[in-house]
Amino acid sequence: MKVVMIGAGYVGLTTGACLAELGHSVTCVDTDAARIKALAAGATPIYEPGLDDLIRKNRDGGRLDFSADTKGPASRADAIFLAVGTPAGANGDIDLSYIEAAARQIAPVMKPNTVVVVKSTVVVGTCRRLREVIAEKRLGLDFSVASNPEFLREGSAIEDFLHPDRIVIGADDRRAAALLEELYAPLTRRQTPVLVTNTANAELIKYASNAFLALKIGFINDVADLCEQVGGEIEAVARGMGLDRRIGTSFLSPGPGFGGSCFPKDTRAFVATGRKHRARQSLVETLVAKNETRKSSLARRVVAELGDRARGARVAVLGLAFKANTDDVRESPALSIIPLLQQAGLSVRAHDPQAEANAARHLSGVEMHDCLYAAAQDADAVVILTEWEDYRALDLKRLAKAMSGSLLIDYRNLFTAQKIALHGLRYVSLGKSASP
């Protein structure tokens, strides 16, 4: 099947490469000419484990190519995927201008029976709206608009795409459903459940799923706060909860608040949709507010732990990406917490295995170090914000020797207090009482 992917970002590139891997002929298109030039020259503009190899393999196999021109590839496609950004707009709503612009670009050249597939995360009713946008430009053209929400996680995007928990197909006509069923047949033959429903349901499934997962994170953060007050241990509590299959073990790790390009934006959009349609999502409203205050309260806690020595103290922040295995810093807790530490008079150095360049664009006055031990040199405190394996495996002896102070604040609970105490460091983590 001939597929065009409009938008070669995290989702578009991964989806494009994976659909090529399933045997389809895919052209990824992007308005960012530099991005297309880099891709054409064999460079992958984002960090995603395994993506380089997958792109190379499918390019070499003649199933994947890149273009800055939308019209040519779109005029030959059976399916045109829209995977452009749907960033936050005003009042929690999302900005649909990119996806509407993409629809206007493809409309004049689409051949009859083309299925336009909305991969971007969009509020309920958007597929119907895009149908109107295209129909206005192509009176009488027979085409479909379908929803196929994406559930991949950055950092494990390829695995998530090729082995999903489910595939959701939102189609308002049989042609769109049949095309998507055929497109995904190599996966559904391997027993991946597929849900075929209408576009409105598919759009709602995406938001309700993300809001629910974000609620789990917010909930466990609240329980961690309670554990600290009453002598509980969050790991034991979370494990005991997660063994109940109705609850499950995932998304039960406390942390510095959720970030990334999806959860913050999607929860706000879900809240805005609820308000607009007079069905307020009050649980999610509270979650959104609490997630913001969590970052500031954890920044204040760093200052409080340093006590009298806070002003002028040197702090090494380990982790700038919103989570491990990505270079994405969109709405990363580090981007909120670091400026608050600076405002409190702390001087900040930072390290991240992949996200330093992206974070540097949003931070000022932060010394970036490619070596984490160099970042920690003479530091009064080290604060871990991202759960990179590199940090879990760090040489605590070397770290303690590099630091001038002894405070290790671990907002990802990578260690145990006992292990840290062996190295003469004072350990602060989430959901547990202070180190012995």
**Taking the CB of residue 431, how many other CB atoms lie within 10 A of it?**
22
Min dist CB 155 to ligand NAD, Å, is 9
Q: Which residue among 102, 334, 376, 400 contacts ligand NAD (CB under 6 A)? A: 102
Q: What is the DSSP annotation of 281-321?
A: -HHHHHHHHHHHHHHHHHHHHHHHHHGGG-TT-EEEEE--S
C-beta of 10 vs 143, nearer to ligand NAD: 10
Is position 267 an interface residue for ligand NAD (rule: CB under 6 A)? no
| Both tokens assigned to 246 | 């109705």
User: What's the min distance (Å) between Cβ of 55 and ligand NAD?
Assistant: 15
Nearer to ligand NAD (CB atom), residue 235 or residue 266: 266
Q: Does 268 bind ligand NAD (CB under 6 A)?
A: no
Which of 261, 291 has the CB closer to ligand NAD? 261
84 binds ligand NAD (CB under 6 A): yes
Binding-site positions read 30, 35, 86, 121, 151-154, 206, 251-255, 259, 265, 323, 330
- Structural Rg of the chain based on CA atoms: 23
Annotated binding site for NAD(+): 30, 35, 86, 121, 154, 265, 330
DSSP of 94-159? B--HHHHHHHHHHGGGPPTT-EEEE-S---TTHHHHHHHHHHHHSTT---EEEE------TTSHHH
Would you say 174 and 146 are in contact if contact means Cβ atoms under 8 Å apart?
A: no
The reply on whether position 121 binds ligand NAD by CB under 6 A is yes
Catalytic residue among 18, 127, 227, 262: 262
Q: Does residue 35 belong to the site contacting ligand NAD (CB under 6 A)?
A: yes
Note whether 233 binds ligand NAD by CB under 6 A.
Answer: no
Sequence ranges of the binding site for substrate: 151-154, 206, 251-255, 259, 323
Calculate the alpha carbon distances from 378 to 25, 120, 211, 349, 407 in Å: 54, 45, 41, 11, 12
18 among known catalytic residues: no
30 forms part of the interface with ligand NAD (CB under 6 A): yes
Which region, judged by CB under 6 A, interacts with ligand NAD, from 78-86, 315-323, 369-377, 396-404?
A: 78-86
Q: How many CB atoms lie within 10 A of CB 94?
A: 24
Q: Which stretch binds ligand NAD (CB under 6 A): 82-90, 108-116, 220-228, 352-360?
A: 82-90
CB-count exposure of residue 178 (10 Å: 0-12, 13-18, 19+):
middle
Binding of ligand NAD by 154 (CB under 6 A): yes
Angstrom distance (rounded) from CA 269 to CA 206: 11
Kindly tell me which of 35 and 294 has the beta carbon lying closer to ligand NAD.
35
Please say which residue, 85 or 319, places its beta carbon nearer to ligand NAD.
85
3-class secondary structure, 427: strand
68, 350, 373 from 405: Cα distances, Å: 52, 16, 14
Chain position carrying tokens 């399933």: 22
Indicate the residue among 200 and 417 with the shorter CB distance to ligand NAD.
Answer: 200
Angle at 324 between CA 318 and CA 330, to 5 degrees: 85
Interface with ligand NAD by CB under 6 A: which residues?
Answer: 6-12, 29-32, 35, 70, 83-86, 98, 101-102, 105, 120-121, 150, 152, 154, 261-262
Question: Which residues are known to be catalytic?
Answer: 262
